Amino acid sequence: MRLAVGSDERTHVTDALVEELRRRGHEVILIGPLAGTEDAWPEVGRAVGAAVASGAAEQGIVCCYTGTGVSIAANKVPGVRAALCHDAQTAAGARKWNDANVLALSLRTTTSELAKEILDAWFSTASPPEEQPVIDQVRALDARGG
């Protein structure tokens, strides 16, 4: 899977995250400081969201100190459903019930091991067909601008 991955800073957690994604066979598109630029969290969230919304990436992962800022910025891009996940159960729920397409992580609270657990849940969970009517309601919000 092609993934857009961005963070407003490069840390041992982001390095471990990128390494783990590549180990799992994903193609990783780096954004922000992970790609050597000095973008702040609003631009990182927007850029990852834009990559997902345009189809340049199938899904995205965004990181900042709390994970909140990048998730807010990514969610400003129509078609993005970014979810801030602090544990595997939340990640599974975000995929199952919300068909989330951007995973937001906190650099403050996410360890490398926890990130692996969250990734396991994120990539092993899909939104079942019975959730589609609710997902369509969210898409309609994009179409009408809120």
DSSP string, 19-76: HHHHHTT-EEEEEGGGGT----HHHHHHHHHHHHHHTSSSEEEEEESSSHHHHHHHHT
Tell me the three state secondary structure of residue 78.
coil
Please state the pTM of the whole predicted model: 0.95
- Homologous superfamily, domain 2-144: Sugar-phosphate isomerase, RpiB/LacA/LacB (3.40.1400.10)
* Residue 138: per-residue pLDDT: 86
As a whole number of angstroms, the distance between CA 50 and CA 54 comes to 6
pLDDT grade for 145, boundaries at 50, 70 and 90: confident
pLDDT surpassing 70 at residue 45: yes
pLDDT, average across residues 10-19: 97
The catalytic site residues sit at: 64
* Residue 9: per-residue pLDDT: 97
High-pLDDT (> 70) share of the chain, %: 99
Please compute, for residue 17, the number of CA atoms within 13 A of its CA located in the half-sphere on the CB side: 30
The pLDDT tens digits of the residues spanning 65-95 come to 999 999 999 999 999 999 999 999 999 999 9
The pLDDT tens digits of the residues spanning 116-138 come to 999 999 999 998 888 889 888 88
Q: What is the mean pLDDT of the chain?
A: 96
* Residue 131: per-residue pLDDT: 85
Q: Where along the chain do its domains lie?
A: 2-144
As a whole number of angstroms, the distance between CA 13 and CA 3 comes to 17
Tell me the three state secondary structure of residue 84.
strand
pLDDT surpassing 80 at residue 146: no
